Structure 1
Amino acid sequence: MDEELRQQRVHEWYQLYSDEIYRYILFMIGDHDQAKDLTQDTYLKAYHSYDQFLGITSDKNWLYRLARNVTIDYIRKRKPIRFMMESFGTYPSKDNTPEEVIEMGEKVEELYRCLKKLKRSYQEVIILRKIKELSISETTEILGWNEQKVKNTLLRALSALKQQMLKEGYQHETL
């Protein structure tokens, strides 16, 4: 593969997807600085693995899969993992009152505390499908699962999240 083309493609991918990849990794580990490092590691891996990218999946899905693998490797090496409220990706608008902003932050923090207590496969499917709002087909490609497994795991994961939130004393009308 032509070195210049490889550099150009990886640079284009970085411009297009680095913010999304960063947020995905941040959801998984909850540390801004480490998420930045792992995002860079993901793009380094994309550069070095470029010849393995066959175009069978979309560029974006391939990068998510690389990011997932890089993050899992990091998680295996480092514990404990924590989520930070600001990683949720839902930021208060300027129309919210200070009380609403505080309440929103508390709800997000509680959600992440509960999400973090679920097993990793549940965390991943919830993050990809419900937080990142990826399609089922995109999720199957990233996780390497079939469609039915994604659907079944998501149902179980949402149920487990609801149970965990109730166990933690979280009361909300949407549960």
Structure 2
Amino acid sequence: MFQLEKHYEIHSEQIYQFLYFITFDVQLAEDLMQETFMRAYEARHSYHGDANVLTWLRTIARNIAYDYLKRGKRLRFFTLTKVKEEMAIELSAEQLVHIEEEKRELYRAIAGLKLNYRMAIVLRKIEGLSIKEAAEALGWNEAKVKNNTERGMLALKKAMGGRYDG
């Protein structure tokens, strides 16, 4: 049985991050994450425990993101300035600025990728899922995940002027 409060507490951050890297919009990712859990709750009777809950939630989140994009909504760029406090202590201000610039450049490059490339890279390279896990979450076969990840990484490297190694 799907327990909303329990799974929201455990998985909301991962679903949010997944949606953030698809939309690159803090508020939109939050809204889509909330919608994901609302739909999961409404469909809780269809979840029988045969699939991993996080995989099931990512599938719902992916479908919600696709629906949003199909409606022709434009995606906006973002600003990401999170720096962990312990990192701030160890690095100089100049180093922090350089790191933040590199992060913004990387995230802009990811945001510029085709949606399929972006989703494959987020799940495989950022969230660290296996090819099989990413295929389950995306509803793709493993070959499609592998191809979209490889092509996405090549496109990402090109977008960054050949400076990104994955």
Q: Which TM-score tier does this pair reach, normalised by the shorter chain? A: 0.7 to 0.9
Alignment pair present for 1:172 and 2:163? yes
TM-score by length of structure 2 reads: 0.87
Question: How big is the shift at 1:100?
Answer: 1.4
Question: How big is the shift at 1:174?
Answer: 4.1
Question: How big is the shift at 1:172?
Answer: 3.4
**Alignment match, 1:11:** 5
Seen in structure 2, the aligned counterparts of structure 1 residues 140 and 91 have a Cα distance that, compared at 3 Å, is farther
Question: How big is the shift at 1:75?
Answer: 2.3
| Distance of 2:37 and 2:31 partners within structure 1 | 10
| Distance of 1:124 and 1:159 partners within structure 2 | 14
Which residue type is aligned with residue 125 of structure 1?
A
Question: How big is the shift at 1:72?
Answer: 1.8
| Distance of 1:59 and 1:147 partners within structure 2 | 20
Q: Which moved more, 1:23-32 or 1:70-79?
A: 70-79
Question: How big is the shift at 1:37?
Answer: 1.4
| Conserved? CA contact 1:65–1:142, under 8 Å | yes
| Distance of 1:83 and 1:25 partners within structure 2 | 14
| Distance of 2:6 and 2:107 partners within structure 1 | 32
| Distance of 1:71 and 1:55 partners within structure 2 | 24
**Alignment match, 2:95:** 100
Alignment pair present for 1:47 and 2:41? yes
| Distance of 1:129 and 1:83 partners within structure 2 | 22
**Alignment match, 1:74:** 68
For the aligned residue pairs, the C-alpha RMSD in angstroms reads 2.1
Structure 2 gaps, min length 5: none
| Distance of 1:126 and 1:83 partners within structure 2 | 18
Aligned length: 163
Question: How big is the shift at 1:85?
Answer: 4.0
Question: How big is the shift at 1:49?
Answer: 0.9
Which residue type is aligned with residue 73 of structure 1?
D
| Distance of 1:51 and 1:32 partners within structure 2 | 30
Task: State, as a whole percentage, how many aligned pairs show the same letter.
Answer: 35
Question: How big is the shift at 1:11?
Answer: 1.1
Alignment pair present for 1:152 and 2:147? yes
Question: How big is the shift at 1:155?
Answer: 1.0
Provide Cα deviations, 1:113-170, integer angstroms capped at 9, x if missing partner. Answer: 222222110010011111111222210111111222211221111011111222xxxx
- Structure 1 segments, 4+ long, off by >6 Å, are none
Seen in structure 2, the aligned counterparts of structure 1 residues 45 and 102 have a Cα distance that, compared at 3 Å, is same
State the SS of the aligned residue for 2:80. helix
Which residue type is aligned with residue 138 of structure 2?
L
Of 32, 42, 50, the match for 2:26? 32
Structure 1 gaps, min length 5: none
Which residue type is aligned with residue 104 of structure 2?
E
| Conserved? CA contact 1:129–1:139, under 8 Å | yes
